[in-house]
Amino acid sequence: MPSIKTKDVMTLSSLYKMGLALACAGLVACGGGSGTSRGSNSNTTDDDDSTKLSFEVLMPMQVQNASLNVYMIGKSEPIYSNNNFTGFSTDPILVNTEDSNKLIFVTLSPNSNSLVYDPITDKNTSFDSSIHSVNLVRNNLTITLSPLSEAIYQRSLVRSGNIEFENPDISLIEAKHINASYNEITQTLNQAFNLTNFPNMNYGQSIRAVEYNSKNPKPYLNVFISLGMMQLWHNTHPTSGNSYVALSKNIGIDLRDGYLDGRTIQGDNTSFLKLVTTPKNLDPSKNNPIDIGELQESARSTFGESFKQATLEYADATSQDILNPEGLTELEKLSYYQDTAHSDTGVRFRWIGAGDYRAALGFVSTALCETSIYPCRQGLNADDILGSISDIEYLVGRHQVQNCQIDILATGDVLLTKNSQTITGQINRDQSDNLLRTNDTTRSYLLNIGSGDMQRPHFIQLELQNSVILDARTGYSQNKFPSENDISSDTNEISSCS
């Protein structure tokens, strides 16, 4: 069972508390420093214009002949485009001051002969997958493209209501989605790649330029845990290609659900390589941080130990015992996974590191809700951004149920489609959004998504067992807590998915 005591060593979670995460001012994909080689940019203008805001894009691993595009939501054309981007960073990109806080979307994509440096193999290797970032415009911003920025982008898509990833609606993303994604992803990745000054790296610019400073150890430690994660990826998947690019792509998919758990959201069939395999939390009687932490302890500790060994392996390969012996000692002392629960919202608990810390669907109370005939929980929440735990986190995604398609979005929107008919609803903390437990032994529930403000409330009702949707129906009921027999359907309704 996990301990609730704190280890008397510097931990990666202590880096978070010491303010490393604040270096990015609460937003994603930050970074600092200027590249030694820049791509040309026909979209920039003189940077002494006081009516302009300036930002740049940084790729810490030197890239050759790639396509870099920067888009601002609301503009039809990219505000920066370079189809032969080579080097590390762009020249300053200037936008009007009135564009402050607008959403920008960055994508670095390979061309037919693109290359990118891999510090693990110390080679330039094929660049075969795009890396993305989303952010809000602010002055003097540096957007660093990294596994962290990719994971935050993918998680922000889900948080904003996207479940189709081939052609997502970027415009749905808001600052609250980016900030929430940033907080959970940096903790999950143990602060890897969360640094304002990640060094530029190529064959001639190696890790030897990184020096340990006992008065400010965080930059050194963060660089090495980042490269340690890349080493872990290479050790686990040695034939997956460039470690920076492959790590970005695959953990981005894994972290769509917010956790490094070897899964993505429901119905997402995107294939990806995993770093971990974890159990699901299915027992609502154990919806507390200690029990969930205990269930995930093996995955968390196994990943943490592998992460530590990979970091020390990279430190050994780069002669840190000679170049930075004090830094190596600190890397050896670090705890690479957490043994205490951590609250990131005041009510939502998680553990730093690998594992699936979503609460199981359901509840254990035997209390009824006014006119319900089954034990009931009312006023369900789907969006955890306001500090409340999502009641339906395990359901987010697309469900194929017999002849129905059911989309449940992280925003609380629900779309039930059968043949050409689609009926929509929203879980939004209303009394008529409720969960009825119909069988405790089989963990069977009825999820009611109601429009309780109507004179005759309308419902989408889902039948579930162990977080799996078995059937669905729509209709009206005078009972705000309807059982399966309380829903009346006419010819315009969906009476069943069969």
Domain that holds residue 17: 12-350
Q: Is residue 466 part of a domain?
A: yes
Sort 166 into a burial class: Cβ within 10 Å, 0-12 / 13-18 / 19+.
exposed
Residues 143, 286 within the same domain:
yes
4 with 340: CB under 8 angstroms? yes
Question: What's the average model confidence in pLDDT over 117-143?
Answer: 95
**Number of DSSP helices (H) and strands (E) in the chain, helices first:** 9, 18
CA 163 to chain centre: 13
CA–CA gap between residue 81 and residue 454 (Å, rounded): 50
152 with 182: CB under 8 angstroms? yes
Residue at which a domain ends, from 303, 333, 350: 350
| Per-residue pLDDT at 41 | 47
The tens digit of pLDDT for each residue in 428-480 reads 999 999 999 999 999 999 999 998 666 678 999 999 999 999 999 999 999 99
Distances (CA, A) of 1 to 187, 291, 342: 21, 8, 16
Question: What's the average model confidence in pLDDT over 233-244?
Answer: 98
Q: What is the mean pLDDT of the chain?
A: 88
Distances (CA, A) of 98 to 53, 139, 179: 9, 11, 22
| Per-residue pLDDT at 305 | 96
CA–CA gap between residue 447 and residue 432 (Å, rounded): 10
* pLDDT tops 60 at residue 369: yes
DSSP string, 170-234: GGG--HHHHHHHHHHHHHHTTTTT--TTPPPBBTTB-GGG----TTS-HHHHHHHHHHHHHHHHH
Q: Which residues contact 167 (CB under 8 A, 6 or more apart)?
A: none
Q: Is residue 481 part of a domain?
A: no
Q: How many independent structural domains does the chain possess?
A: 2
412 with 161: CB under 8 angstroms? no
Residues 214, 86 within the same domain:
yes
Which amino acid is it at 132? Answer: H
Residues 404, 329 within the same domain:
no
In this prediction, what percent of the chain has a pLDDT beyond 90?
77
Residues 212, 113 within the same domain:
yes
Q: Is residue 277 part of a domain?
A: yes
**Residue 272 phi, psi dihedral angles, 5° rounding:** -155, 160
| Per-residue pLDDT at 385 | 65
Could you identify the residue written with the tokens 């006081």? 50
Q: Which residues contact 487 (CB under 8 A, 6 or more apart)?
A: 459, 461, 473, 474, 475, 476, 477
Q: Closest Cα to residue 356, out of 481, 284, 264? A: 264
* pLDDT tops 50 at residue 3: no
Residues 307, 403 within the same domain:
no
Q: Which residues contact 193 (CB under 8 A, 6 or more apart)?
A: 144, 146, 147, 148, 149, 222, 226, 229
Residues 249, 112 within the same domain:
yes
Q: Is residue 436 part of a domain?
A: yes
Residues 345, 386 within the same domain:
no
Could you identify the residue written with the tokens 């440096």? 117
Residues 112, 180 within the same domain:
yes
The beta strand positions in 20-139, using DSSP E, are 52-72, 80-89, 93-96, 103-118, 123-126, 131-136
Residues 139, 84 within the same domain:
yes
CA 237 to chain centre: 21
Question: What's the average model confidence in pLDDT over 8-12?
Answer: 41
Q: Is residue 324 part of a domain?
A: yes
Residue at which a domain ends, from 299, 315, 350: 350
Q: Which residues contact 139 (CB under 8 A, 6 or more apart)?
A: 53, 54, 55, 100
Residues 241, 296 within the same domain:
yes
The tens digit of pLDDT for each residue in 256-288 reads 999 999 999 999 999 999 999 999 999 999 998
The tens digit of pLDDT for each residue in 176-200 reads 999 999 998 998 998 899 987 789 9
**Residue 20 phi, psi dihedral angles, 5° rounding:** -60, -40
Residues 139, 191 within the same domain:
yes
Q: Is residue 166 part of a domain?
A: yes
Q: Is residue 424 part of a domain?
A: yes
CA–CA gap between residue 234 and residue 310 (Å, rounded): 9
pTM: 0.90
Q: Is residue 47 part of a domain?
A: yes
Q: Which tokens hold the place of 239? A: 């034939």
Residues 124, 244 within the same domain:
yes
Distances (CA, A) of 33 to 56, 196, 351: 10, 8, 32
The tens digit of pLDDT for each residue in 12-55 reads 444 444 433 333 433 544 433 333 334 444 455 454 567 899 99
DSSP state of 330: H
**Residue 152 phi, psi dihedral angles, 5° rounding:** -70, -40
3-state SS class at 494: coil
**Residue 55 phi, psi dihedral angles, 5° rounding:** -145, 165
**Residue 474 phi, psi dihedral angles, 5° rounding:** -135, 160
Q: Give 139's Cβ-side CA count (13 Å radius).
A: 10
